[in-house]
Structure 1
Amino acid sequence: MKKLMQGTALALVMCAAGNSGAFAQEDDPAAQSQGGLDVITITSQRRETTVQDAGLAVTAISGENLENDRIMTFEDLADSVTSLSFTALSPLDQEFNIRGITNTRLDSPSADQSVGIFVDDVYVGRSGLFNFDMYDIERVEVVRGPQGVLLGRNVVGGAISIYTAAPSFDQGGSMAISIGNYDEVVARGHITGQLGNSDFAGRLSFQTHHRGGYNHDILHDRELDDLRSIQARAQLLYQPEDSNLSARFVLDYTDDESNGFHSVAIDGPNPATQGPWSAARDAIGVIRGRPLDIRESLPEHPLYAGDANETPQGLQREAWGAMLRVDYDYDFATLTAITGYRQGQAFNLYDQTGMGPNNGYGVISPTLFRFPVNEMEDITQFSQEIRLVSTGDGPLDWIVGGYYQSDDVSKYDRFWAEVPLPVLRTLSGESHWDNNAETTSYALFAQAGYQFNEIFRLVGGIRYTSDDKSGVVTGIAVEGGDQFNPTDLVALTPLAATYLEGDSFTTAYGRDWSEVTPQVTLEITPRDNLLFYATWSRGYKGGGFEDDPANPVAARAGYDPETVTNIEIGAKIDFFDNRARLNVAAFSMDYQDLQVTQTDDGCLCNITDNAADAEIRGIEAEFQFAPTDRVFVWAGATFLDTEYIDFIDSTGLDASGNQLQRTPEMQYNVGGELTLDAFGWANALAIRANYTYQGDMFWAPDNAQTEDGYGLLSGRVSLTPPNTPWSISVWGRNLTDEVYRTNIIAFFGDEVSRLGAPRTFGVELATDF
């Protein structure tokens, strides 16, 4: 890795020296006007700048390119952005990974995200209640590395910031409809313009998305991973002429539901034994006369105590949010106040194993248990940020501000299990957890930059963050035993060690933490279109408490915050008359008390530990090239070297020296777009393709289960006649129908897996007005 870092530094110097002729050409205004790469304006540093002028690692994707590549979800986004990957235990447990930093299965009501999600600068604390399609978007900014000063909520791994399209005083709108395989129909549109002759402009946006299931529940003859979704957004912009005041109000609503997701057991890596679920799948295949397809499963529906009927597997989510942003320009600075409010409810029920003893084919084995999980979540979040950003042309610039956030999260978990083997009777029965948590967080931050001359600029900032988390959790041993163990009174694990049927505990928990996180960046701009930067920064993520603790002691124990120190050097280089671009970064991150959650198959429960330390070293690069106005190519790559240091978890497992979980050592993506004349129209046909590859990775800290590397190919062909308001496109994702997994849980020799989307394709007709 040391040689790799040295090589990167050498490459940066060679790029600066070897392309001096190209930079000299860019001083010619006529040469610049002949064409070049787009430069996207971003606000990650809380003032308008461009990706190429920002001294940090950031990728920005315009709303147009989101549509061109059909990036609708966070999983789609991860296929297109350097150093970003995505896994998910369930639709409510989204796991975003930037440079090896991820919040694996950390979904308790008091948990913080490792990678922050922001919508119009408002932090979204529960990612599962915002994992909806992105539509009518201006841009998405993905910032890599800890952001310990300026972002509204201190994030340790990076941030995904989504900026919705704002109202315009010019009248206009759009409408698009897409039809695809799996009976998919997507309709979206917007309308915007001035409201009468007033100082107000409005914007209305909507999207409906209906799709059949990628997978099939053959026990109940139901599609799984289907989708029925509706989303809407209403906005009002107040912007009077000759005034220093502007205000924007956004109200959004989302509702989606499905039959839940598909779990399939795949035999684990030990060739000496086969897991009970994969063995049962083989036996059912023999009975049926054909093997079960990997996209077929037999999830069982639980019959909870007091219910007359089984509860079907399924997912329902509903959420709405409001944002008010007010800006006022003074002679020396701009005052910005952003108020955010979000509320949401979710119901999610899934069978973890994807099959149990009541599978309809009479296949039973001693350890073939079923274990449905039901999550119900209710959140309310309020946030307020106020910041003052300097204006003017002097060498000194500054930002000061404060931030406040209050979260109220209620989470109700129901576990239900049946197991034929009497020795494992602690896995049978029903248990509930009612967990209510309140989090209050506030921060004060300041940053100052000084431009010494045309070449050197130094930026320093500091943030003080305070988190106060408290709550009450009740664990209830509702029922012991099952149809195989009817007289057993031992509670379902993890309550089994202490409690019998009918027992319960209620306990309060609470702690507070605070941290100071500084950041210093040196920016060097030796000439136009060339930026070098070096950063030292710290990030912080608050501690928390377990989701479903085994007893009051475990409920009150919690886990500590984690911190990371990042040293990073980077370069941003435009050359060949602004037709080529290379952005590179090399970084070294040292973790203390890294929060790691994993499933213990002894208690079938999640356990969160603080790893003593972890180290991440890496290099990432992004390249764009437009040799002509008709040809555009791009590529990106990330190489990581990660290691747990002195990590022995609460079960006694020593993961020291192992690679970080869910973190591929290598990722890359390549793509291109070709514009052609067609049917007598100039530049009317656009052919676009993108291929992304993710290398091998380990699913857990023990490095026992792996995911082999895989690649996904996507493409789009669009016909847009000039001087017409319409276009028609044919699109496809995962065109090679690659089978890959977005999650696994290791149970008794099996890897119970969740699959990514198969090949999808369709046609879209769009019009502007």
Structure 2
Amino acid sequence: MKEQRTRSMWLVSTAIISGLGALAATPAWAEDQPAAAQAQADEAPAAKDGQVSDIIVTATRREESAQRVPVAITALSASDLQARGISGTNDLQFQVPGLQIYSTQVGITNYTIRGLGNANNRSSTADGAVGVFVNEAYIGRPFLVNTDFMDMERVEVLRGPQGTLFGRNTIGGAISFYSTKPGPETRAGGEVTIGNYNQRDAGAFISGQIAENVYAKVAVTTRNHDGYNYNTTTHTAVDDQRMTGVSAALRFTPTSNLDITLNVDTTIRRGFGSWWIDWVRGPYSGAPYANPRSGNGANDNGFGNINNTGGSLNIGWATPIGDFTSVTAYREGKLDSRSPSTGTMPAPPGPPAVNSDLSNILFTQEDDYRTRQYSQEFRLASNNDSPFKWLLGAYYFHEKSYHTGIVDFQFNNYYGYTGRARYDSVGTTDAFALFGNLSYNITDKLKVQAGLRWSNDHKESTETASGQSYGAGFKINGVSAPGGFTANGAKTFQAATPSFTVNYQATPTVFLYATVSKGFKSGGFNDVSDEKFAAETAYLPEKVWNYEAGFKADLFDRHARLNVSAFRLDYTNLQVSEVVPAYAGGPNLVVIANAGKTHNQGIETEFQIFPVSNLQFYGNFSYQDSKVDQLSMVVSGVQLNQAGNKLPLVPKTKWMIGGAYTFPMGEALDTTVRAAYSKTASYYGYITNNPLELVPPQSDLTASILFQPRDSRWNVELWGKNLENKLNITQMFQIFNASYAKLGVPRTWGVTVRFKY
């Protein structure tokens, strides 16, 4: 049956490609354009002329047009980021098919692509399935990625396993941020934003030459807003933000063949904790709030404080034997996050009457992290005009993380059951990899590629559990251990991940490809375990085979673009968040477990259309059909077969459509009106598919009006997001037969003034 489904997927993909290839061969699309000229197409003039623009990307570790790389990729230039109102990482999820971004705690951001994501970021040895890179440097912890988009050159989101070239933990895909390099041209710019919720954002940069062959850039940003939700117990608005970031770059080009750039940055973020609400009432819930964003919560607002600093040294050297690249990176940071379940307490604070159905549940979770990481990557790529090209590389990554998890609990339905559990852990990762990629142009249009990466990840974990467990008590090999325990675990995970690709340039503007690749994400340890043996036992690495085919077409003299990819992913030991009761009838624990066999298949599309001058439409669509093929789990003490369930965090459909129109207002002013609407279908928060953890559909309507005086260096934009003020939910969990929801951002609006020199 599995083979039949795989064959069916390939037949569909082949039919799509073959049909387009035949259509692309018609004379209407056969206008020839020099490849070099197309690859160097300037984005601004192309957009002004009403044509789709080329963006040069490094998805294959070489500079190529995004329309000529055999990868499902969404590339957004600086002008795209500004025009679509993308001011932070969370805004990307509406622009990329198959991408989900959500957060359960301040600083703990989860990224999933095609159903592969972060199983549980609490552990000091847990890894994500979507690699995040800043100027080619891998960032191992989500709270270290406070990327601000001030003077960002481009963002590339690669979908599907990228394990051959991009390295560790890119089994789902990779998100790469590239800041603009300083150069001989003097550039400067800034922007100020004022909006509701007392939003006060400002940023500025300056870049240019400071000596012969030496260039520098400095950027400063501050982003602030009051809380989106209100705790009437403390009379405080929570889910707020106060953030300041500084980045700098120093570039040295002693010769035309050598380019050395040092990037450094630091970020400080402060704010209160997250807001959760009682979404589906349970037997121990009080009356629901009249306003879901305001109510009597805990008498502790919590906090989310982040400090991170780091940088990278990027060296590019064109030698007679090939282009040499070195990326040396270091980053350290700390996160103090306390989530007091603010918003989940509709019952009055304090113990209820004995045997009362109305009960106050207080469950406060605090996570404190200290981490530092170092990485080194070397690459050597051929740079001749031969039809045969090669790339070789080596990679090393070291990380040491300290994690303190604290749980304060007061479950009054178990009258007087209260206490504190504490888990202190240290996790160390040493990862090493060798990789290579070969390609051969069989003809001017047909190319084949093959790549291989060998990965070796060694992880060590130490957990010390103390205090009072809110479960059945701490245990050592099943025996009660009231004083807690110290557990030590170590494990090495190895894998070889190949990739095979064939691509065909059917016409100068129609590109077809097919890929088979394997992805790998190493295992790790649960470091908030109540049982010593469980803390010492590693969960398994996850692996996936990806079968994919697609096309990229620029149509009608490049007045339209249509990119389509069809894929099937077969997972083994998919790492998932498993919600298990601490004891029979008790509160739930979230741990990492392995699903036996699962799969996901679907199709993704992106389009742009310029029907007439100054008018454009753009959008994307994704369809995913996921299923658990083999998995048994213990739920409430009963062994249940989970086969047939949907994968968590995988909406069946997700789409976005937007448009923009530019028109003159008088003789001195151009005005651009832009709007976009996105819709995400419902999905389950966890693999058990509990109806109480079904996240409802979400939607987002954004719009803006930009006023651009002609021959001027400044502009003014009025904008709004979530204009319908939808009560979007990003994640759910259930406890005591009630479900609790993390709310998304409400309606926001404001005005932004920009200046560039």
Name the TM-score class by shorter chain.
over 0.9
Could you say which residue in structure 1 is the equivalent of 2:654? 667
Contact 1:35–1:579 (CA under 8 A) maintained in structure 2: yes
1:65 alignment partner, SS class: helix
Q: In the TM superposition, what are the counterparts of 1:695-706 in structure 2 within 5 Å? A: 695-705=681-691, 706=694
Could you say which residue in structure 2 is the equivalent of 1:58? 73
Give 2:737's match in structure 1, choosing from 740, 744, 749: 749
Could you say which residue in structure 1 is the equivalent of 2:271? 258
2:361 alignment partner, SS class: coil
- How far apart, in 1, do the equivalents of 2:196 and 2:352 lie? 34
The answer on 1:648 being equivalent to 2:632 is yes
- How far apart, in 2, do the equivalents of 1:111 and 1:139 lie? 28
Could you say which residue in structure 1 is the equivalent of 2:21? 16
Query: How far off its partner does 1:504 sit?
Result: 2.0
Could you say which residue in structure 2 is the equivalent of 1:305? none
Q: Percent identity?
A: 28
- How far apart, in 1, do the equivalents of 2:149 and 2:641 lie? 41
- How far apart, in 2, do the equivalents of 1:4 and 1:523 lie? 18
**1:360–1:561: structure 2 CA closer, same or farther, 3 Å change rule?**
closer
Query: How far off its partner does 1:421 sit?
Result: 3.0
The answer on 1:88 being equivalent to 2:75 is no
Query: How far off its partner does 1:704 sit?
Result: 2.0
Could you say which residue in structure 1 is the equivalent of 2:284? 276
Amino acid at match of 1:227: Q
The answer on 1:337 being equivalent to 2:323 is no
Give 1:444's match in structure 2, choosing from 408, 423, 434: 434
- How far apart, in 2, do the equivalents of 1:606 and 1:65 lie? 38
Residues 248-301 of structure 1: CA deviation (Å, up to 9, x unaligned): 001100001111111111116xxxxx3423xx134xxxxxxxx53100243324
- How far apart, in 1, do the equivalents of 2:610 and 2:412 lie? 64
- How far apart, in 1, do the equivalents of 2:624 and 2:416 lie? 41
**1:494–1:244: structure 2 CA closer, same or farther, 3 Å change rule?**
farther
Structure 2 unaligned runs (5+)? Answer: none
Give 1:422's match in structure 2, choosing from 414, 426, 446: 414
1:422 alignment partner, SS class: coil
Could you say which residue in structure 1 is the equivalent of 2:451? 461
Q: In the TM superposition, what are the counterparts of 1:385-400 in structure 2 within 5 Å? A: 385-400=377-392
**1:148–1:101: structure 2 CA closer, same or farther, 3 Å change rule?**
same
Amino acid at match of 1:90: Q
Query: How far off its partner does 1:211 sit?
Result: 0.3
Q: In the TM superposition, what are the counterparts of 1:19-168 in structure 2 within 5 Å? A: 19=24, 20-25=26-31, 36-168=51-183
Amino acid at match of 1:620: E
**1:424–1:545: structure 2 CA closer, same or farther, 3 Å change rule?**
farther
The answer on 1:229 being equivalent to 2:243 is yes
- How far apart, in 1, do the equivalents of 2:412 and 2:385 lie? 75
Give 1:692's match in structure 2, choosing from 666, 669, 678: 678
1:753 alignment partner, SS class: strand
- How far apart, in 1, do the equivalents of 2:32 and 2:615 lie? 20
**1:757–1:312: structure 2 CA closer, same or farther, 3 Å change rule?**
closer
Amino acid at match of 2:484: S
Residues 529-575 of structure 1: CA deviation (Å, up to 9, x unaligned): 11111101000000000030112101111200000001111111111
**1:319–1:189: structure 2 CA closer, same or farther, 3 Å change rule?**
same
Query: How far off its partner does 1:324 sit?
Result: 0.3
**1:357–1:678: structure 2 CA closer, same or farther, 3 Å change rule?**
closer
Contact 2:120–2:591 (CA under 8 A) maintained in structure 1: no
Residues 457-504 of structure 1: CA deviation (Å, up to 9, x unaligned): 001000000000002110002x5xxxxxxxxxxx42263567889612
Residues 161-185 of structure 1: CA deviation (Å, up to 9, x unaligned): 1111211211120011010010001
Amino acid at match of 1:446: G
Residues 298-332 of structure 1: CA deviation (Å, up to 9, x unaligned): 3324xxxxxxxxx6511110001111011111123
**1:332–1:70: structure 2 CA closer, same or farther, 3 Å change rule?**
same
2:304 alignment partner, SS class: strand
1:77 alignment partner, SS class: helix
- How far apart, in 2, do the equivalents of 1:217 and 1:386 lie? 51
The answer on 1:581 being equivalent to 2:586 is no
What is the TM-score when the length of structure 2 is the normalising length? 0.92
Higher mean displacement: 594-603 or 503-512: 594-603
Amino acid at match of 2:269: D
- How far apart, in 2, do the equivalents of 1:361 and 1:632 lie? 58
- How far apart, in 1, do the equivalents of 2:218 and 2:147 lie? 18
Could you say which residue in structure 2 is the equivalent of 1:614? 598
The answer on 1:737 being equivalent to 2:725 is yes
1:453 alignment partner, SS class: coil
Contact 2:50–2:615 (CA under 8 A) maintained in structure 1: no
- How far apart, in 2, do the equivalents of 1:434 and 1:46 lie? 40
Amino acid at match of 1:590: D
Residues 438-474 of structure 1: CA deviation (Å, up to 9, x unaligned): 0000100010100011121001000000000002110
- How far apart, in 2, do the equivalents of 1:531 and 1:469 lie? 42
**1:332–1:502: structure 2 CA closer, same or farther, 3 Å change rule?**
same
Amino acid at match of 1:50: S
1:415 alignment partner, SS class: strand
- How far apart, in 2, do the equivalents of 1:353 and 1:670 lie? 35
**1:650–1:63: structure 2 CA closer, same or farther, 3 Å change rule?**
farther
Q: In the TM superposition, what are the counterparts of 1:537-552 in structure 2 within 5 Å? A: 537-552=517-532
- How far apart, in 2, do the equivalents of 1:606 and 1:28 lie? 56
The answer on 1:597 being equivalent to 2:605 is no
Residues 350-396 of structure 1: CA deviation (Å, up to 9, x unaligned): 12363459845986655532110111000000000000011011101
2:379 alignment partner, SS class: strand
RMSD of Structure 2 on Structure 1 (CA): 2.3
**1:135–1:655: structure 2 CA closer, same or farther, 3 Å change rule?**
farther
Q: In the TM superposition, what are the counterparts of 1:192-207 in structure 2 within 5 Å? A: 192-195=207-210, 197-207=211-221
Contact 1:718–1:729 (CA under 8 A) maintained in structure 2: yes
2:150 alignment partner, SS class: coil
Contact 2:129–2:169 (CA under 8 A) maintained in structure 1: no
Structure 1 unaligned runs (5+)? Answer: 269-273, 283-290, 302-310, 480-490
2:20 alignment partner, SS class: helix
1:550 alignment partner, SS class: coil
1:18 alignment partner, SS class: helix
- How far apart, in 1, do the equivalents of 2:319 and 2:376 lie? 21
Higher mean displacement: 597-606 or 43-52: 597-606
**1:177–1:357: structure 2 CA closer, same or farther, 3 Å change rule?**
closer
Contact 1:300–1:358 (CA under 8 A) maintained in structure 2: no
- How far apart, in 1, do the equivalents of 2:261 and 2:422 lie? 43
Contact 1:718–1:728 (CA under 8 A) maintained in structure 2: yes
The answer on 1:172 being equivalent to 2:170 is no
- How far apart, in 2, do the equivalents of 1:393 and 1:3 lie? 39
2:251 alignment partner, SS class: strand
Contact 2:185–2:209 (CA under 8 A) maintained in structure 1: yes
Contact 1:494–1:604 (CA under 8 A) maintained in structure 2: no
Residues 208-252 of structure 1: CA deviation (Å, up to 9, x unaligned): 011011100111011111110001101100013x44211000110
- The number of residues matched between the two structures is 728
Contact 1:494–1:605 (CA under 8 A) maintained in structure 2: no
1:239 alignment partner, SS class: strand
**1:516–1:248: structure 2 CA closer, same or farther, 3 Å change rule?**
same
- How far apart, in 2, do the equivalents of 1:4 and 1:639 lie? 14
Contact 1:219–1:299 (CA under 8 A) maintained in structure 2: yes
Give 2:307's match in structure 1, choosing from 318, 327, 332: 318
The answer on 1:711 being equivalent to 2:719 is no
Amino acid at match of 1:503: G
- How far apart, in 1, do the equivalents of 2:187 and 2:14 lie? 49
